[in-house]
Structure 1
Amino acid sequence: MKALVFTGPSVVELREVPEPVVGAGEVLVHVAASGICGSELHGVRTPGFRVPPLIMGHEFTGHTDDGQAVIVNPILACGTCDLCAQGQPNICRNRQILGIHRPGGFAERVAVPATAVIPLPDGVGRTAAALIEPAANAVHAWRLAGHPAGARVGVIGAGAIGLTCLHTALAGKAASVHVADRSPERLAIAARLGATTGPELTGEYDVVFDAVGAAATHEQSLTHLRPGGVTVWLGLAAADPGFDATDLVRTEKRVLGSFAYGDADFSAAIDLVGGWDLSWTDTYSLDQGADIFTTLMNGHTTPVKALLIP
């Protein structure tokens, strides 16, 4: 079968690979669409967790052999550690992630644990289904922020995670949402979806979501946060925190890290995405995968979200 394979630093290639072996307790998923994530672009440029050769892809939907449309939750928690017992499978001490620790969805077919497969309700199209995983990240971040209905919300970054944070905040009855990004094209999309926009945050916010994760955006998320407010960091661009710790103390601002999602967040995302404007996504054949992946990896800001269609 065909698969897009990470073969070395900054290199992905379309290859013929063996059919997946379906083990005990596993299901074969025929992939319908798989999204390219910003973390994968970064991971291919600077290999670390992802070790080549690897079929990446953790945002994918498809169908089983019997034709059931499904979405796959790529986080494989152990279910037995203390954090799993506390309902935090996303930070399981022994977690594995499809597309990182074992083959993912940049392929025609993939074998996954049956426990990771969730049947899709009728009427959820291929594009919406492929956006459930990034949407679940936004739902989780919104929950960590306290479901702040009526809040003034700032979002840094108008990529897929930033736009799903915008969608989630509007669905959660935020009073206003301002999206900051350096790309005029991405800002135009955010404005169309209902945000005010600009190259940086302006004014003061009750909640800020940093979907970039650079030192400068960390600093910006706190500079424009009201005293006592909360900023939720989802982006993973850099390790440098970039903020004034004394200001954090004196103003009782809170910084929360947000990684992935729990089962309830994933279920909520399934219910939400069908009603969203997802016209900011673009589809490409798997044969085009290496080209569009490399284009995005080299810094192009369009498309905002690329879905690979086997």
Structure 2
Amino acid sequence: MRALVFTAPGVMELREEPEPEVGAGEVLVHVVASGICGSELHGVKTPGFRVPPLVMGHEFAGRTDDGRAVVVNPILSCGVCDVCALGLRNVCRKRQIVGVHRPGGFAERVAVPEGTLTTLPEGLGWTAAGIVEPVANAVHAWSLAGAPVGARVGVIGAGAIGLACMQVAVAGGASRVEIADRSDSRREIAARLGAHAALAELGGEYDVVFDAVGAAATHEQSLARLRPGGVAVWLGLASPAAGFDAADLVRGEKRVLGSFAYRDADFAAAVELVGEWDLSWVDTFPLGQGAEVFTTLMNGGTSPVKALLTP
């Protein structure tokens, strides 16, 4: 079986790997589309959370042996702890993630627990199926912000997660959505997809700011651009440094919320939502080109905004 394997810091290789062993309660998925995530780019360049050798890929969809078209929710939780009992499987202390703690979707086939599968609606294309997982992140972030109809929303970063946050906010009834990115091409895409303004840097004040980058500087900017009483939702993981003005946080009674992954309802909502979107910003590549595409993005490339690999 062909698979794209993280073999060493900064190195991705296409290799022949053993066929997956399908355990009790598991299903074999023949992967049709698997997205490259920014967290994977960072994880290969600076290993730590992900340990080589590893078949990554936590954003994927495919077919089961019985012909079902499915998308995989890669979060595996214990299901019995206090946090899981609250419906917060995404932050279970014992959670594991397909493509991080066990082989993922950068392969022709992968074995996953039956409970991770969601059957795709009739007619949903594979490009849409391949980005359900990142869109679920944006749905979750919008929910954490309170799904505020009529809000002025700022988004920092016009990568896949930032564009998803922008489109979820527009669909959710925000009155104005502005997005910031240093890349001219990404700003052009954001404007085409419905941003009311696509800027090099956010200006003015917002009710909600989504930080889809996660650097110390963007943390600072997300708070600086909030109105008093506003909420910043941090999704990006570029740096662990906080970088913000704590006095401003207190005096402005501003809030910062961390947003990790999604709850089951967010994932289900993403499946229904993504079929309506313009996905012209998503590009598809054969698995055989995966190492080249991955390395280009890992080393700072801004195109494509979102790459799907197709075994």
Counterpart of 1:233 in structure 2 is 234
Q: 2 CA distance for matches of 1:197 and 1:159?
A: 13
Q: 1 CA distance for matches of 2:81 and 2:10?
A: 35
- Offset of residue 123 of structure 1: 1.0
Q: 2 CA distance for matches of 1:108 and 1:194?
A: 35
Q: Deviations over 1:166-194 (max 9, x none)?
A: 11001101001000000000000000011
Matched residue SS, 1:43: helix
Unaligned runs of 5+ in 2: none
Q: Deviations over 1:119-160 (max 9, x none)?
A: 111011000001100000000000000011100000000000
Counterpart of 2:12 in structure 1 is 12
- Offset of residue 27 of structure 1: 0.1
Unaligned runs of 5+ in 1: none
- Offset of residue 118 of structure 1: 1.0
Structural mapping, 1:47-58, within 5 Å: 47-58=47-58
Q: 2 CA distance for matches of 1:244 and 1:70?
A: 44
Matched residue SS, 1:55: coil
Counterpart of 1:259 in structure 2 is 260
Q: 2 CA distance for matches of 1:170 and 1:247?
A: 28
Counterpart residue identity of residue 44, structure 2: V
Q: 2 CA distance for matches of 1:202 and 1:150?
A: 18
Q: 2 CA distance for matches of 1:111 and 1:243?
A: 42
Quote the RMSD (CA, aligned, Å).
0.4
Counterpart residue identity of residue 3, structure 2: A
Percent of paired sites with the same residue: 74
Q: 2 CA distance for matches of 1:199 and 1:216?
A: 14
TM-score, structure 1 as length reference: 1.00
The alignment status of 1:171 with 2:155, answered yes or no, reads no
Q: 2 CA distance for matches of 1:309 and 1:245?
A: 45
User: Once superposed, which parts of structure 1, at least 4 consecutive aligned residues long, lie more than 6 Å away?
Assistant: none
Q: 1 CA distance for matches of 2:254 and 2:310?
A: 43
Counterpart of 1:71 in structure 2 is 71
Q: 1 CA distance for matches of 2:302 and 2:183?
A: 7
The alignment status of 1:110 with 2:113, answered yes or no, reads no
Q: 1 CA distance for matches of 2:111 and 2:192?
A: 39
Counterpart of 1:294 in structure 2 is 295
Matched residue SS, 2:15: strand
Counterpart of 1:279 in structure 2 is 280
Q: What count of residue pairs does the alignment treat as equivalent?
A: 310
Counterpart of 1:120 in structure 2 is 120
Structural mapping, 1:155-166, within 5 Å: 155-166=155-166
Matched residue SS, 1:135: helix
Q: 1 CA distance for matches of 2:205 and 2:12?
A: 42
Structural mapping, 1:15-30, within 5 Å: 15-30=15-30
- Offset of residue 212 of structure 1: 0.1
